[in-house]
C-alpha cells in the first residue's frame, strides 16, 4: 500500500511539473522572441550569438550573458532552447535579455579555438585578443545595439563557461556589473579536471578530448562523434591501454591540446599562463563577483575555492562565495533538488534554495536594482553531517585552527603525538593491480564517488587505514586539509592518495535524531557507512616543486606535504574520523610507474612494484592537519 501511494504521488508530481513547464513554455514564447547575430570582434572575427529578447517595451531590461565552447544550440531563430525546463525561466519572468555565444573557433563562430586561452594583460593592437577582449567587444555591441537594454550586464557560466566568466570579469567593460564564475576551470595542472597535484586524471581527460578536442576547420552545427571504447568497464579499458603513450596512439594526432598535455609534463610557463588566478588583479572594483561551487564536484571543486581565494587576495572588488553539497553543476538543476548525492542525504532542497535565495536575487540587485542583498555574507557554505547552511564574514573562518591528528601504530588515529620508536605501516603498491576509485563496474566516471562508501578500499592490503575511537563530541571542519606525511619508498617515485572519511555508527539510519534536517521516517540505513568527505592525490616527484620534479632516494625518509581542497563537514558524536592512504586511484589518475621519469614516455616495462612505508613514531610523526572550528 505504501509503495502504491508513493507511486501515485510521484505520478501526480510529474503531471504537475509537466503542466508547469507547459505554462512556462507558452508564456515565454508569447513574451519573448529569438534573434541570432554574428558579432564582430576588434580583429574582424565574427562570433555567433543567440539572444532571447523580451517583447515588452514598457521598461528597460538587463542582459545576462553566457559564453560557451559547448554550443548555443539549437540553431535557427525558429528553434528555441528549452529554457522553460530550467531555472533560467525565472530570469525570463524577471524580464532579462538572455544571451549565449559560441566562443572563438567553436561551433558557429569564426576564428581559431585555443583551450584555456591565456589572458593578455598587455594588448597593444586590435590583433591582440583574448577571451576578455572578446567579452568586452560582445558586451559593447549588445549595450549599443539591443533596444530596451538598461545598460547593465551580468555574466555567468558553469565549468568551462565558468572559466569564460572569470575572463569576462577581467574585461573591464563599464556595463559589466556582476559576474558569477561557477565551478570555474582555473588551473588544469594543480587541481582541476585533468591534473591533481601533477597526477594526470586520464579518465576525464581522455573521455573529454577524444570528442571535444576534434578539429573544427569550418563553422558547424554538427557535434563530433564519441570514441568507441568497445567495453563498458573503464577499469578494464585503461588497464589494458597500459601506458599514456598507448592512450596517445588511441587519441590520434589531430587533437592539439592532448599533444600539449604530453609536451608539458611539468608546471612550466605554458601552464602558468593558463592559470587565471595569476591575473585576477585585473578585475575592476566596479565588477562584483559571486563564486559558486560544489563540495562534491568531481571536476572543479578546486577551481571554485581557489578562484574565490585569489580574487580575495588580489582584487578590491566585492567578492562572495557559495558552496553547497553538490556535484558538478547540480545547483543549477531544475530536476535534481540537491537533497542527496548517492547514498548521502542532506535533508533539504539545497539547489532550489540557492537559486531562489542567492543567485537570482544577486543578479536582480546588481542589474535591476531590485531587492537588497547588502546583507549577503562573505561566505555561504553548506555543512554536511550537520546538514545546515552557515554564514561567515571570512573564509576560511577566522576562528579556524589547523589541528593535527596523528597516525598511530595498529591503525589508530589520535590527537596525541605518537611516542613509539621506529614505528611505521607498510604496503606494496603494484601498478598491475591498482586500487580502484569505486567498488562497482562503470563505463563513465561517476559523480557519486565523491561521497562513496570506502569500505571496499579499506579491505585491500595496499590501503592503510587509521581511525579514531568513537567521537564523544561533534567536530566541525571548515577549510583546507593538509596532509603532512613522513614516508619512504623502495623506488624513485610513487603517488600518495589521502582520504578523509566519516565513519557512521552501526545501527544508523536517517531516522536518527543525530542527523538534523532529515525528515523523520526516511528509514534509509547507513550502518557503518564510510563516507568519503575529501580525497586527493599527490604525485610524489612534485613534493618539493611542481616546476622541477626530483626523484626519491630509495628507502630514505622523505617528507610530503600537500593540500586537499576545502571541506565543510561536521563529524557527529558517535561517528569516527578515518584516514586512508594508498598509492593508486584508478582509473581516475594514471598509474605511476613508480620510476622517476617523464610518465608520458613510460613503456610497460617501466612499471614496477614499490614498498611504501608511512612513519608514525616520535621522531617521524605523520599527521593530517584538520581545520577545526567551534
Please check the confidence at residue 416 and state whether its pLDDT lies above 60. Answer: yes
Please check the confidence at residue 186 and state whether its pLDDT lies above 90. Answer: yes
Q: What pLDDT, on the 0 to 100 scale, is given for residue 523?
A: 58
Q: What pLDDT, on the 0 to 100 scale, is given for residue 18?
A: 52
- Per-residue pLDDT reduced to its tens digit, 400-410: 999 999 999 99
Compare 189 and 5 and report the one with higher pLDDT: 189
> Region 139-161: what's the mean pLDDT?
98
Q: What pLDDT, on the 0 to 100 scale, is given for residue 570?
A: 98
Per-residue pLDDT band for 19 (boundaries 50, 70, 90) equals low
All domains in the chain, ordered by first residue: 2-187+274-392 (3.40.50.1820), 401-629 (2.60.120.260)
Q: What pLDDT, on the 0 to 100 scale, is given for residue 335?
A: 84
> Region 66-75: what's the mean pLDDT?
98
Per-residue pLDDT band for 510 (boundaries 50, 70, 90) equals low
Q: What are the start-end ranges of the E strands in 229-350?
A: 288-294, 319-324, 340-341, 344-345
Distance CA 392, CA 566 (A): 15
Please check the confidence at residue 517 and state whether its pLDDT lies above 60. Answer: no
Closest CA to 588 of 444, 431, 428: 444
- Per-residue pLDDT reduced to its tens digit, 462-476: 999 999 999 999 999
Counting residues of the chain whose pLDDT is more than 70, the rounded percentage is 94
Please check the confidence at residue 519 and state whether its pLDDT lies above 50. Answer: no
Distance CA 140, CA 142 (A): 6
- CB 156 within 8 Å of CB 135: no
Distance CA 122, CA 117 (A): 15
> Region 447-456: what's the mean pLDDT?
98
Most confident region among 18-27, 152-161, 520-529 by mean pLDDT = 152-161
> Region 489-504: what's the mean pLDDT?
98
Q: What pLDDT, on the 0 to 100 scale, is given for residue 424?
A: 98
C-alpha cell at 339: 537533497
SS3 category, 188: coil
Q: How many residues does the chain have?
A: 630
Compare 276 and 12 and report the one with higher pLDDT: 276
Q: What pLDDT, on the 0 to 100 scale, is given for residue 7?
A: 46
Per-residue pLDDT band for 134 (boundaries 50, 70, 90) equals very high
| CA 72 to the chain's CA centroid | 23
Per-residue pLDDT band for 12 (boundaries 50, 70, 90) equals very low
The model's pTM is: 0.94
H/E run at residue 355: none
| CA 423 to the chain's CA centroid | 37
Distance CA 45, CA 134 (A): 10
> Region 407-425: what's the mean pLDDT?
97
Distance CA 137, CA 40 (A): 8
Q: What pLDDT, on the 0 to 100 scale, is given for residue 518?
A: 47
C-alpha cell at 227: 570514441
Counting residues of the chain whose pLDDT is more than 90, the rounded percentage is 91
> Region 336-359: what's the mean pLDDT?
95
* Three-class secondary structure assignment of 297-328: CCCCHHHHHHHHHHHHHHCCCCEEEEEECCCC
| CA 142 to the chain's CA centroid | 31
Distance CA 281, CA 381 (A): 25
Per-residue pLDDT band for 8 (boundaries 50, 70, 90) equals very low
- CB 83 within 8 Å of CB 74: no
> Region 58-76: what's the mean pLDDT?
98
Amino acid at each position: 500500500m505504501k509503495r502504491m501511494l508513493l507511486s501515485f504521488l510521484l505520478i501526480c508530481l510529474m503531471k504537475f511539473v509537466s503542466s508547469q513547464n507547459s505554462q512556462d513554455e507558452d508564456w515565454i514564447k508569447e513574451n519573448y522572441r529569438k534573434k541570432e547575430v554574428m558579432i564582430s570582434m576588434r580583429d574582424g572575427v565574427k562570433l555567433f550569438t543567440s539572444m532571447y529578447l523580451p517583447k515588452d517595451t514598457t521598461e528597460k531590461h538587463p542582459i545576462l550573458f553566457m559564453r560557451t565552447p559547448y554550443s548555443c544550440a539549437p540553431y535557427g531563430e525558429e528553434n528555441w532552447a528549452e529554457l522553460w525546463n530550467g531555472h533560467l525561466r525565472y530570469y525570463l519572468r524577471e524580464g532579462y535579455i538572455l544571451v549565449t555565444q559560441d566562443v572563438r573557433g567553436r561551433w558557429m563562430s569564426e576564428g581559431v579555438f585555443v583551450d584555456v586561452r591565456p589572458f593578455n594583460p598587455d594588448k597593444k593592437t586590435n590583433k591582440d585578443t583574448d577571451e576578455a577582449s572578446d567579452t568586452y567587444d560582445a558586451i559593447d555591441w549588445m549595450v549599443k545595439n539591443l533596444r530596451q537594454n538598461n545598460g547593465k550586464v551580468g555574466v555567468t557560466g558553469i565549468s568551462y563557461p565558468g572559466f569564460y566568466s572569470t575572463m569576462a570579469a577581467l574585461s573591464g567593460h563599464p556595463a559589466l556589473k556582476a559576474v558569477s564564475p561557477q565551478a570555474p576551470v582555473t588551473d588544469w595542472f594543480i587541481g582541476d579536471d585533468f591534473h591533481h597535484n601533477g597526477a594526470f586524471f586520464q579518465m576525464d581527460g581522455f573521455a573529454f578530448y577524444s570528442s571535444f578536442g576534434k578539429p573544427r576547420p569550418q563553422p558547424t552545427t554538427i557535434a563530433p562523434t564519441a570514441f568507441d571504447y568497445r567495453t563498458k568497464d573503464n577499469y578494464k579499458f585503461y588497464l589494458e591501454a597500459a601506458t599514456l603513450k598507448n592512450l596517445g596512439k588511441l587519441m590520434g594526432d589531430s587533437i592539439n591540446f592532448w599533444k600539449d598535455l604530453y609536451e608539458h609534463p611539468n608546471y612550466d610557463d605554458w601552464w602558468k599562463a593558463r592559470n587565471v588566478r595569476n591575473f585576477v588583479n585585473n578585475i575592476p572594483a566596479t565588477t562584483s563577483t559571486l563564486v559558486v561551487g560544489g563540495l562534491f564536484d568531481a571536476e572543479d571543486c578546486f577551481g571554485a575555492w581557489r578562484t574565490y581565494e585569489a580574487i580575495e587576495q588580489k582584487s578590491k572588488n566585492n567578492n562572495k562565495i557559495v558552496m553547497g553539497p553538490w556535484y558538478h553543476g547540480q545547483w543549477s538543476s531544475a530536476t535534481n533538488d540537491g537533497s542527496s548525492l548517492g547514498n548521502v542525504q542532506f535533508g533539504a532542497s539545497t539547489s532550489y534554495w540557492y537559486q531562489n535565495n542567492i543567485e537570482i536575487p544577486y543578479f536582480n540587485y546588481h542589474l535591476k536594482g531590485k531587492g537588497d542583498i547588502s546583507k549577503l555574507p562573505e561566505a555561504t557554505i553548506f555543512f554536511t553531517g550537520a546538514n545546515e547552511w552557515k554564514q561567515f564574514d571570512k573564509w576560511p573562518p577566522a576562528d579556524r585552527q589547523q589541528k593535527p591528528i596523528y597516525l598511530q601504530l595498529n591503525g589508530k588515529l589520535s590527537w596525541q603525538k605518537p611516542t613509539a620508536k621506529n614505528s611505521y605501516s607498510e604496503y606494496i603498491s603494484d601498478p598491475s593491480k591498482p586500487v580502484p576509485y569505486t567498488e562497482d563496474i562503470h563505463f563513465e566516471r561517476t559523480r557519486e564517488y565523491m561521497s562513496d562508501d570506502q569500505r571496499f578500499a579499506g579491505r585491500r592490503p595496499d590501503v592503510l587505514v587509521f581511525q579514531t575511537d568513537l567521537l564523544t563530541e561533534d567536530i566541525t571542519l571548515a577549510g583546507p586539509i593538509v596532509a603532512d606525511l613522513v614516508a619512504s619508498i623502495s623506488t624513485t617515485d610513487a603517488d600518495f592518495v589521502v582520504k578523509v572519511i566519516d565513519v557512521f555508527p552501526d545501527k544508523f539510519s536517517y531516522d536518527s535524531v543525530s542527523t538534523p534536517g532529515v525528515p523523520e521516517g526516511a528509514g534509509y540505513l547507513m550502518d557503518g557507512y564510510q563516507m568519503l568527505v575529501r580525497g586527493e592525490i599527490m604525485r610524489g616527484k612534485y613534493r618539493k616543486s611542481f616546476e622541477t620534479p626530483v626523484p626519491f632516494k630509495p628507502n630514505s625518509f622523505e617528507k610530503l606535504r600537500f593540500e586537499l581542497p576545502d571541506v565543510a563537514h561536521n563529524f557527529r558524536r558517535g561517528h569516527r574520523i578515518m584516514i586512508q592512504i594508498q598509492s593508486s586511484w584508478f582509473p581516475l589518475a594514471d598509474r605511476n610507474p613508480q620510476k622517476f621519469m617523464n610518465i608520458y614516455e613510460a613503456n610497460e616495462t617501466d612499471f614496477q612494484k614499490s614498498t611504501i612505508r608511512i612513519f608514525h613514531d616520535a621522531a617521524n610523526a605523520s599527521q593530517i592537519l584538520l581545520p577545526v572550528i567551534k
